[in-house]
Amino acid sequence: MGEIQFSAIAPPWIDPLLHGLGILCLVLGFGFTATAQSQMRESWRIGISENEKTKMVERGLYRYSRNPIYLGIYLALLGIWFLIPSIFLTFVALMIHFTLQMIVRLEEAYLERLHGTNFVNFCKRVRRWI
């Protein structure tokens, strides 16, 4: 009587609320990332190639965030942390955070070289994250 029943898929040390929140963050994070990638259409690429000329994307999620793909990754990472909270995962999350910060700055410098004033004005209208 009065015992909390845990889900069969949740480890016993996970609070059911955190478990549900973790799954929600994971699903939303993956959905956010996939949506942002599809909205880039032909501008989607991996890495920076100075020889490659892509169109600027300002539609969809990009009206609210300059980096919705990475925002989705952050949300999914938060979901994983809610599901498996640990010092190790906290360390991994911090490493991912610093890596993404570096990537974003490199990409934004590249986009400014590529699109010039259009990208500068975009940065004034749209925040880096949210």
Percent share of the chain, pLDDT over 90: 68
What is residue 47's predicted lDDT score, i.e. its pLDDT?
A: 72
Domain contains 87 = yes
Backbone region of residue 2 per phi and psi (left: phi > 0; alpha: psi in -120 to 50; beta: other values): left
Q: How many domains does the chain have?
A: 1
Domain contains 48 = no
Q: Is the model's pLDDT at 65 over the cut of 80?
A: yes
Domain contains 10 = no
What is residue 8's predicted lDDT score, i.e. its pLDDT?
A: 52
Domain contains 68 = yes
Q: Residue 101 is part of which domain span?
A: 16-40+56-125
What is residue 14's predicted lDDT score, i.e. its pLDDT?
A: 63
Domain contains 90 = yes
Name the maximum alpha-carbon separation found in the chain: 67
Domain contains 51 = no
Three-class SS of residue 32?
helix
Q: Is the model's pLDDT at 3 over the cut of 70?
A: no
Task: Please give the single-letter amino acid code of residue 54.
Answer: T
Instruction: Express each pLDDT in 18-55 by its tens digit.
Output: 889 999 999 999 999 999 999 998 777 777 777 778 88
Average pLDDT of the chain, as a whole number? 88
Tell me if the pTM is above 0.75: yes
Domain contains 9 = no
What is residue 55's predicted lDDT score, i.e. its pLDDT?
A: 87
What is residue 101's predicted lDDT score, i.e. its pLDDT?
A: 96
Q: How far is CA 105 from the centre of its chain?
A: 15
pLDDT class of 109 with cuts at 50, 70, 90: very high
Domain contains 5 = no
